[in-house]
Amino acid sequence: MTDCPALVQVFDDNVELGKRLCSFVKDRYDEAVESRGKFHIAVSGGSLPKFLKGLSKREDIDWTKWWVYFCDERYVPNDDPDSNYGALKEVLLNEISIPDPQILKINSSIPVEEAAREYEDKMRELLPSMDLDLALCGMGPDGHTCSLFPGHPLLAEEAVDIAPISDSPKPPPQRITMTYKLLRKCHQVVFVVTGESKVPMVVSSLHDDLDKTTPAGRVRPESGKLFWFLDSKAAAGLPDRSDTPSAN
């Protein structure tokens, strides 16, 4: 067994998954505010932002206590259709009132290497310990998470917390991404994975052996908790997990 086994939760459909994810995020926000007065969360792009829509209706959240980062970001202007920030803005940020300086966006007007360095420097100013309360990760059908792709040299990057990539196999090719160095420091990580195209990589990702798993499966918070929220389609290749502990 690993030192950080994943707690797997399977939901009948995306509506149930979204509801549970929103209340899970709210609980982590409560805990973080209780312990350090602030909530630092990182969000992925792709299919993930839409599951957070329900948060906008909550009246029990003080948005001024939120600091938002991106697990990875495409090297495009913030109003580009490919922007992960843009996707989150459309479903959530437009509806709530997080102060703009507390949402850390990429600067795509400088070279991508500098953009990654600047993102890391600014993140360190906002969160010196670089320990996110919560990272919400997705996984592509190839097993990638953030912009950490199978077989890519970035999987071994240990010098920096945020790295540039210029040859992403999934467009757009230029991006910045959190590395394992940073992901290991998270207090909690939740993978949100849905749809039948993800079945083989869900099975591989939950393999205990780090050498045999996918880029997503290699995310193991050092002293935090790891959750996988799946819909029943994505979970179709897993054995019956009715005894899995619940995500509290």
Ligand X SMILES: O=C1O[C@H](COP(=O)(O)O)[C@@H](O)[C@H](O)[C@H]1O
Nearest Cα residue to 163 out of 173, 171, 151, 175: 175
> Among residues 72 and 133, whose Cβ is nearest to ligand X?
72
For residue 39, the minimal CB distance to ligand X (Å) is: 20
Q: Distance (Å, rounded) from C-alpha 133 to C-alpha 31?
A: 9
DSSP string, 36-90: HS-EEEEE--TTSGGGGGGGGG-SS--GGGEEEEESEEESS-TTSTT-HHHHHHH
**How many residues form the binding site for ligand X (CB under 6 A)?**
13
Residues numbered 109-138 forming contacts with ligand X, rule: CB under 6 A: 138
Q: Which residue has the tokens 């193991």?
A: 220
Please name every residue paired with 9 in a beta bridge, in sequence order, or none if there are none: 229
Q: Which of 89, 170, 181, 241 binds ligand X (CB under 6 A)?
A: 170
Q: Would you call 133 helix, strand, or coil by DSSP?
A: coil
Pair type for strands 39-43 and 134-137: parallel
Q: Which of 52, 71, 182, 199 binds ligand X (CB under 6 A)?
A: 71
> Among residues 14 and 23, whose Cβ is nearest to ligand X?
14
Residues numbered 139-158 forming contacts with ligand X, rule: CB under 6 A: 139-140, 147
Binding mask 31-50 for ligand X (x = CB under 6 A): -------------xxxxx--
Which residue's C-beta sits nearest to ligand X?
A: 46
Which parts of this chain interact with ligand X (CB under 6 A)?
44-48, 71-72, 84, 138-140, 147, 170
